[in-house]
Structure 1
Amino acid sequence: MTISSSETITKEIYIECRPETLFSFFTDPDKLVQWMGRHVLLEPRIGGKYRIDINGSDIALGEYKEIVPHERIVMTWGWEKSKLVPPGSSTLTFQLTPRDKGTLLHLIHSDLPATEMASHTQGWTHYMTRLEMLAQGQDPGVDPWSEAPMSSND
């Protein structure tokens, strides 16, 4: 008998921009590619697919499951060619809540294998920092992770 456990990553960050502005960084490929990946294809509608080529080797694939403009995005998440986290095997939720003069971004990444928790936590910490800088009008520069493969994603 094989027992597999699934884990959840939860992260929260306050970003000094309106929810409308922040929301566009998840639905506009020209904006998303500034904080994650080197090539991005998005179909931001229910059932629409996305493809985020991080570095020419690590490619995230999934589908939009729920979109509430300026409030919430739910999508499946996985890695092309991965046996541990194949496309569609985990769920990613971005909740945007107006707070003071900005937005509280709450990320929930669920249904991850326990063995993938550390790498995905590191990844979301990296990308949320880049998103925060960009959404607040700063230039995060070229993503250093876009230059070389992150891991085997097996």
Structure 2
Amino acid sequence: MMRVAARSVSEVEDIVTSPQLRVLVLIATHGPQTLGNVATELGVHASNATRTCEKLVRAGLIHRTEDPTDRRFVRVALTSTGAQLVERVIGHRRSALAEVLAEMDPDERSVAVASFRAFARAAGDLPDADGRFTLILPGTAGV
């Protein structure tokens, strides 16, 4: 798993750092975020989250807006370029996982798929409603 994840990240390491990619994926999966939410997700001080997001703004991957319900807060959202970068990484990861799973015996693959689902539930990840982050394999309902 680590090798599959590392390969998908290495595809964009000349564009973003791992923490920056985490911010982009956070926004892609949960929608626009406050800087406080970004700091919490990264486990860093708010000033570090602000610097990370500023680099992403300068790179054209996210943009800042005032929170419509409370102007004291700034929200960050993906630009189309940022969304494309996330889709590229997720697409690469999806393809790499599908290749590995396709090499498995069908019974082993079923166990692996069930394990991935259990892992996602335990981690608090819910199925993605629009399928962007779902891995579809022949004979499965998706992971």
TM-score range, shorter chain: under 0.3
Greater share of residues in strand:
1
TM-score scaled by structure 1?
Answer: 0.26
TM-score scaled by structure 2?
Answer: 0.27
Larger Rg: 2
